[in-house]
Amino acid sequence: MFDLADVTKFIFSFFLIMPMVTFIHLSGHLFCAAIFGGKGKKLTLGCGNKLFSILKMDIKKYYFWNGHCEFDKLQVNHPFKSVMIYLGGALFNLISIFIINGLIFVDILNNSIFWYQFIYFSFYIMFFSLFPMYFSDGSPSDGQAAILSIKKQEKDIVTGDVIIKKEKKD
């Protein structure tokens, strides 16, 4: 039965855990972009008006809702690199799940509702990012973008959370 205590957990999950999981996901994209030579990396957490910036990260008014990362186009574009960048977010989510489960298993972390929700939202983000589909705005999911990269059908793919800035022409 859903009661007042569950409302508190719900609010806590959406305003703290979901942004943490989103940050991990976006960091995975940027990590892979950095490995393959992406420059001008920036992470944006949330949507709406910008509240503040920390290093190369913008925090928006609705920090708990979505986010994206961006970087300059790679010098040498290869399908493997693109696939790794698109799948990097889900990979980081998966790694975080294994780390948390491992730390719980060896009794470093307590088995709590916080970690249960963290893992739940990590799977949620992973599933919907990897599911090969197009969103209502026409942008592909990370999984669909990876498939397009493998088929060499990508042309300036912009997913819901990965933006590759076009080269500036002088």
Contacts of 5 (CB under 8 A, 6+ apart): none
Cα dihedral sign, 127-35-134-60: positive
pLDDT of amino acid 78:
83
CB 85 within 8 A of CB 162: yes
Averaged over successive runs of 10 residues, the pLDDT of the chain (170 residues) comes to 83 92 96 90 93 93 90 81 94 98 96 94 95 89 92 70 65
Residue with tokens 């973008």: 145
CA 162 to CA 26: how far, in whole Å?
8
Neighbours of 14 (CB within 10 A): 14
> For residue 47, what are its two tokens?
């949507």
